[in-house]
Amino acid sequence: MRCERCGGPVGNKIIRLQGVTLCENCARDLKVGEALMGPASLFGSAFPMLGDITNAIMQAGDELEFANTKIRCPKCGTTLRDVESSGQVGCIECYNVFNETILKTILKRQGSSEYLGRNPGDEIVIPEESEQMAAEDAANEENKEQPVPEKKPAGKKKDILEKIKNADLGMVSDEDLKEAMKLAAEKEDYDLAARFRDELNSRKGDK
């Protein structure tokens, strides 16, 4: 907790004047203790003491009004007086500097420091259309990430197979031989597939 006059820590002894928190040093500077606590013979000299109390409170109010312009955010320069008058902060650091004042304002306005939504107590209902759209978007994103294999036309596959079948296998690349072996197996031409396989195996032996 911080003093709202000087911005320093309050310590163990907390003094409040007109809803404002003061540290012991500021209370002593404003002579709040002398006026409010005074001598034990308060009732013996009631009227003079009442005058002292009034003067002390008025002086303290003036001092606090001035102090509110002195306490400022080191990052954006917003003063405590700005926050109290507008209810707005200048930057994220203001939340650390004016923490107590902000909480006090929130409690005063909504009765709680927790966010309860626009209509507290109301159940949040998500339309079925929104849920369906979200599911479709997720499915589309998943499909985008998976590469779609390139499909070769059936006629083109047949041409490739015939071309490799009649070619000199020694001049055909490993990749084309593997593709031809796969196509031959799909056509159930296992003799041709075995021929391509043997060629590939012989190349491995040569290496």
Q: Tell me, what's the pLDDT at 91?
A: 92
Output the CA–CA distances (angstroms, integers) from residue 73 to 2, 8, 82, 147, in the order listed: 14, 13, 11, 53
* 73 against 3, higher pLDDT: 73
The total of other beta-carbon atoms located within 10 Å of residue 49's CB is: 17
Task: Give me the chain's average pLDDT, please.
Answer: 69
Q: How far apart are CA 88 and CA 80, in angstroms?
A: 10
Percent of the chain with pLDDT over 70: 52
The three state secondary structure string of 7-61 is CCECCCCCEEECCEEECHHHHHHCCHHHHHHCCCCCHHHHHHHHHHHHHHHHHHH
Residue 38 backbone phi and psi in degrees, to 5: 50, -170
Q: Tell me, what's the pLDDT at 42?
A: 42
Amino acid at 97: V
Token pair 């998500």 is at which residue? 126
* 97 against 33, higher pLDDT: 97
* 90 against 127, higher pLDDT: 90
pLDDT band, very low/low/confident/very high, at 98 (cuts 50, 70, 90): confident
* 20 against 180, higher pLDDT: 180
- Give helix 154-166 / helix 190-206 axis angle, nearest 10°: 60
Name the least confident of 35-39, 117-121, 140-144, 173-177.
35-39
Q: Where are the domains of the chain?
A: 15-110, 154-199
pLDDT in tens, 56-74: 555 555 454 545 556 788 8
pTM over 0.75: no
Q: For residue 183, is pLDDT > 90?
A: no
> Buried (b) or exposed (e) across 100-115, using 16+ Cβ within 10 A?
ebbebeeeeeeeeeee
